[in-house]
Amino acid sequence: MKPIQGLHHITAVASDPQANVDFYVGVLGQRLVKTTVNFDDPGTYHLYYGDEIGTLGTAITFFPWRTMHRGRIGSGETSAMAYAIPRTSIEYWRARLTDLDIPFEETNLRFDDPVISLADPDGMVVELVATDDPSTIQFWKDGPIPEEHALRGFHSVTLLLNTLPGTAALLTEQMGYDFVGQEGSRFRFCGASNDRGLYVDIDVQPDVPRGSFGAGSIHHVAFRTVDDSEQLEYMAAFRAAGQQVTSVQDRQYFHSIYFRGPGGVLFEVATDEPGFLIDESIEELGSSLKLPSWYESKRDFIEKTLPPIDHPDFSNTLSK
């Protein structure tokens, strides 16, 4: 089996679905590529955002539970997710966030790259890393961001852990990541590709207590595997190494296995196929509620239960 190529998707928890759409589409310029439901709780949306087609390594997904309390970051969690932006775009994003009255901070250079840090409506930390690293995406031409400044998919995730060795060994010995550097308490690991979503950072903070899961928390981090057969190879290898891995779960647009890493973070290994275009054309992506076959008989009830969402439309405006 091949080493893990990088990030597949990230799934997080939100509260208000409209505020979530307004931020990720209206502010960050991601396309809402799939509107479906939480398969375990069909009265809750599952919203997917990414580039024009939801290219793997660009897709962030949310469960917006309207009554969910605000989470608190602690150890054993993914404390931040980062998008890549072109290094030449940092002034654009400073100006855009200022114009939209969205608070942000700029950290010290991280592995020589400038970083803008902000929070989404539920307090989840979103970072914009200005980098020259290559990143192949399919630009969403009807979005609010000019192509030269658009997000380039994921750059990295940061895991906040009390200790390093167990998770470091999982990444390097079982998943094929390479350790590529350290800055202070931050240790960086790189996937086997040379494209988007390559990096996993571990921020080692021995005294940080466990957090409180809620809105603004990242539920899990998913990694790419090519197909079902390779996923089964990974399942066997993880189990042989002592990981408690689930059976394969059908997530409609990919197949998934889950397990908790040694530090407590929930990991997923997901297949590239079948993808988001199995039930919608590129033009239609995200525009209607898509349900798995086992919920179709309950569509009327589900549609009445879910709150309405306004889908921002920038097709008749100039990106600026």
Domain boundaries, the chain: 7-305
Asked if omega into 274 is within 30° of 0 (cis), the reply is: yes
pLDDT at 46: 98
Kindly tell me if the per-residue pLDDT of 225 is higher than 70: yes
State how far the Cα of 235 lies from the Cα of 243, in Å rounded to an integer: 9
161, 203 contact by CB (below 8 A): yes
Element (H, E) at 228: helix 228-240
Which tokens hold the place of 15? 């509260």
pLDDT at 315: 60
Using one digit for the tens of pLDDT, what is the confidence trace for 102-133?
A: 999 998 899 999 999 999 999 999 999 999 99
Reduce the DSSP state of residue 147 to 3 states and report it: helix
Mean pLDDT of 224-248: 96
- Average pLDDT of the chain is 95
pLDDT at 312: 79
Using one digit for the tens of pLDDT, what is the confidence trace for 163-186?
A: 999 999 999 999 999 999 999 999
Q: How many CA atoms lie within 13 A of 81 on its CB side?
A: 26
Residue with tokens 């030269």: 148
Using one digit for the tens of pLDDT, what is the confidence trace for 273-290?
A: 999 999 999 999 999 999
Kindly tell me if the per-residue pLDDT of 70 is higher than 80: yes
Angle value at C-alpha 196, between 194 and 202, nearest 5 degrees? 95
Kindly tell me if the per-residue pLDDT of 319 is higher than 50: no
Which tokens hold the place of 278? 């199995």
CA-based nearest residue to 130, from 141, 143, 117, 142: 117
Which tokens hold the place of 308? 């309405």
CA-based nearest residue to 7, from 64, 57, 55, 72: 57
State how far the Cα of 9 lies from the Cα of 92, in Å rounded to an integer: 26
State how far the Cα of 236 lies from the Cα of 134, in Å rounded to an integer: 33
Phi then psi dihedrals of residue 148, to 5 deg: -70, -15
pLDDT at 1: 87
Using one digit for the tens of pLDDT, what is the confidence trace for 6-63?
A: 999 999 999 999 999 999 999 999 999 999 999 999 999 999 999 999 999 999 999 9
24, 244 contact by CB (below 8 A): no
pLDDT at 247: 97
Give residues with Cβ within 8 angstroms of 51, minimum separation 6. 30, 31, 58, 137, 138, 139, 140, 150, 151, 153
Confidence label for 268 from pLDDT (cuts 50, 70 and 90): very high
Confidence label for 306 from pLDDT (cuts 50, 70 and 90): very high
Confidence label for 79 from pLDDT (cuts 50, 70 and 90): very high
* CA Rg value for the chain: 19
For the domain covering 7-305, report its CATH number.
3.10.180.10
Using one digit for the tens of pLDDT, what is the confidence trace for 140-169?
A: 999 999 999 999 999 999 999 999 999 999
State how far the Cα of 271 lies from the Cα of 228, in Å rounded to an integer: 6
Mean pLDDT of 76-84: 98
Alpha helices by DSSP H, 43-135: 90-99
